[in-house]
Amino acid sequence: MNRTKPLTGELASLRDEILGYATDYGLTFYPVMFEICNYDTVCILAANGGFPTRYPHWRFGMEYDQLNKGNTYGFQKIYELVINTDPCYAYLLSSNRFVDQKLVMAHVYGHADFFKNNAWFSSTNRKMMDVMANHGTKIRRYMEKYGVERVENFIDTVLSFENLIDMLELVKPNATFDTDQEEVDIKDDRSQALKSFMRSKIGKPEEVEKVLKDENPLDKLDEEIRGGRDIMRFLMDYAPIEEWEADIIGLLREEAYYFLPQRITKIMNEGWASYWHSKILTNKALRSSEIFDYADVHSGVMAMNAQNINPYRIGIELFRDIEYRWDTGKFGKDYLECNNMSEKQNWNKDTKLGKEKIFSIRKSHNDITFIDEFFTQEFCERMQLFTYKYNPRTGRNEIDSRDFETIKAKLLQQLTNFGNPVIEIESANYKNRGDLLLRHVHQGVDLDVGMTNETLRNLYKVWKRGVSITTQVEGVNKIISFDGKEISETSESK
């Protein structure tokens, strides 16, 4: 059943027109395939992370339920979806007005350029459409073989440590996340049990010989893995699980790494796409009769929000700010060291480096470095940013500070490790009994206690021995452990 169809008629010629502008401005991208579809289909695709098929899991159904409801009640609308693949697929909502489609197409070309050129996307598998479909097929087969409940429960468990991956893996030379094995066909249960046993003791088969020679293989292993952040990979390789379970961790890990670049470049990516839709539309594509409608949609997307920063807005404004600064020469040693306020204000060296600068930034930066390097005091004030804090006395969140340094630190902290706590492996032989010890690298914010306990329980299901994590709770170093029966908390002994 075809739920989407290619562009025809005036939309097709609109696409050609926008494509022309985008190319003229110097954007480069893989071919962009626009498809048009109804709202239900957009919801389905969005719930599936943009892909037409995923592995079966109730969580996609939940997303779908919520997106659909959001539309019915009118507090949410998805205009488009764009998928980071080659060719790049983009889905347009059939009910969009003509001017909306214009905006959305220009926006999509912005994303497509970013996907292709940003360094953090360089290791992305651009054939992800097929990969996702294959994962679906594989997991469905596992479900037929081992039972839907069993496989689904295992997936639920794995999703619990889906965020324990290492961002730096993305830029390692020859990075690939494809750990696909031929589907394992088990006929003899005993041999499988033996295999699992071997995995549990000494890791991957090819390492067997090497490790056996060492006197204490587990201590040796500890040296190798300590400080590692790709915990999904670690569990896939070393946990005493069955082959199909390891395979599922591998599949989900590959998907997690696929989505990771988008999570660490949210501000830049949306900012870049918004910058270009605004530029293309206001300079080229808009007819005068469309200005109001365009302004209405654009301002909706750029709306400020007191509870969260809007990545679209911060992104586009920061790109514009950089372009302006590099066009007028407001950068570098001379400018920064100038103490004459009026001279600084009227600084105009006519350097005209703006365009070059923003293109080079979109090539190498991610959100953290983007904010760290280009977020200035002037910009912060112009954006009316603030930090807020929960006030236990009034029971609500209240504006805390408008101090530049505080805000910048808060922003960077929120972006660090894509907004997730940094968790490292400390030991796979904790207490000398094969327990797993993780370390939360505490950077000022405590872990959610309830969630931590539940996550430890899930990790135990995979590791099959005790799992502990060192962290800080209200300033006190603690070790939280789950030994298969109960959660216990001890203050860390130094």
Partner 1 sequence: MDHPIKRDHARFRKIIKGKIRDNLRKYISRGEMPIPKGDGQFKVPMPSINTPRFIFGDKSQGGSGQGEGEAGDPVDGQGEPGAGEAGEGEGAKELDVEMSLEELAAILGDELELPKIEPKGKQNMQSTVDRYTSIGTVGPDSLKHYKRTYKEALKRQIAMGTYDPANPIVVPTKADMRYRSADTKIEFENSAVVIYMMDVSGSMGDEQKEIVRTESFWINLWLKSQYKDIEIRYIIHDATAKEVDEHTFFRTRESGGTLISSAFKLCKEIIQEDYNSNEWNIYPFHFSDGDNWSMEDTNLCLKILKEDIIPESNVFCYGQVESRYGSGQFYKDLTAAFGEEHEDVILSKIKNKDAILGSIKEFLGKGK
Query: Comparing C-alpha atoms, which of 490, 486, 488, 467 is closest to residue 478?
Result: 490
| Residue 9 vs 444, nearer CB to partner 1 | 444
In whole angstroms, how close is the CB of 325 to partner 1 at the nearest point? 21
Based on the shown chain and the rule CB under 8 A, indicate whether residue 270 belongs to the binding site for partner 1.
Answer: yes
- Cα–Cα dist 341/208, whole Å: 69
Q: How many chain residues touch partner 1 (CB under 8 A)? A: 95
Contacts of partner 1 in 36-65 (CB under 8 A): 41, 44, 46-49, 53, 56-62, 64-65
Q: Which of residues 143, 286, 383, 487 is near partner 1 by CB under 8 A? A: 383
Q: How far is the CB of 306 from partner 1 (least distance, A)?
A: 4
Minimum CB–partner distance for residue 199 and partner 1 (Å): 24
Interaction of residue 2 with partner 1, rule CB under 8 A: no
Any residues with CB less than 8 A from the CB of 363 and at least 6 apart, and which? 117, 118, 119
Cα–Cα distances in angstroms (integers) from residue 155 to residues 50, 143, 177, 305, 420, in the given order? 20, 11, 18, 35, 20
CB closer to partner 1 out of 49 and 329? 49
Nearest residue (CB) to partner 1, 43 versus 353: 43
Which is nearest to 427 in space by CA: 227, 262, 162?
A: 227
Q: Which is nearer to partner 1, 202 or 423 (CB)?
A: 423
Gyration radius (Cα) of the chain, Å: 25
- Closest approach of Cβ 176 to partner 1, in Å? 21
Distance (Å, whole) CA 89 – CA 130? 13
Question: Residue 317 or 327: which CB sits closer to partner 1?
Answer: 317
Helical ranges in 229-331 per DSSP H: 231-238, 243-264, 266-280, 291-301, 311-328
Amino acid of residue 188: D
C-beta of 77 vs 126, nearer to partner 1? 77
C-alpha to C-alpha distance for 326 and 365, rounded to whole angstroms: 17
Please, which residue, 55 or 326, has the CB nearer to partner 1?
55
Nearest distance in Å: CB 178, partner 1: 21
Does 292 participate in binding partner 1 (rule CB under 8 A)? no
Q: Where are the alpha helices (DSSP H) in 52-97?
A: 58-72
Residue 69 or 344 having the CB closest to partner 1: 69
1 belongs to the binding site for partner 1 (CB under 8 A): yes
Minimum distance, C-beta of residue 209 to partner 1, in the bound complex (Å) = 35
Helix (H) or strand (E) holding 470: strand 467-473
Check if the beta carbon of residue 234 is closer than 8 Å to that of residue 225: yes
Site string for partner 1, 161-180 (x = CB under 8 A): xxxx----------------
* Among positions 127, 287, 363, 389, the unique one binding partner 1 when judged by CB under 8 A: 389
In order, the DSSP letters of 9-27 are HHHHHHHHHHHHHHHHTT-
* Neighbour-count burial of 400, counting CB atoms closer than 10 A to its CB (0-12 exposed, 13-18 middle, 19+ buried): middle
- Of residues 400 through 459, those in contact with partner 1 by CB under 8 A are 400-402, 407, 410-411, 414, 420-421, 423, 440, 445-455, 457-458
Looking at 243, 386, 434, 441, which residue binds partner 1 (CB under 8 A)? Answer: 386
Between 81 and 358, name the residue whose CB sits nearer to partner 1: 81
Q: Restricting to residues 196-255, which ones interact with partner 1 according to CB under 8 A? A: none
- For 200, phi then psi, to 5°, come to -65, -35
Of 5, 69, 141, 287, the one binding partner 1 (CB under 8 A) is: 69
Q: Which is nearer to partner 1, 56 or 434 (CB)?
A: 56
Q: What is the DSSP letter of 214?
A: S
Name beta bridge partners: 157: none
Q: Give yes or no for a contact between 75 and 110, defined as CB atoms under 8 angstroms apart.
A: no
Whether 107 and 302 have beta carbons less than 8 Å apart is answered as: no
94 makes contact with partner 1 (CB under 8 A):
no
Nearest distance from C-beta of residue 125 to partner 1, angstroms: 16
- Of 35, 32, 9, give the one whose Cα is nearest residue 20: 32
Between 179 and 387, CB nearer to partner 1: 387
Closest CA to 168 of 368, 363, 360: 368
User: Least distance in Å: CB of 415 to partner 1?
Assistant: 10
Taking CB under 8 A as the rule, which mask of x and - marks residues 301-330 in contact with partner 1?
x-xxxxxxxxxxxx----------------
In the bound complex, what is the minimum distance in angstroms from residue 58's beta carbon to partner 1? 4
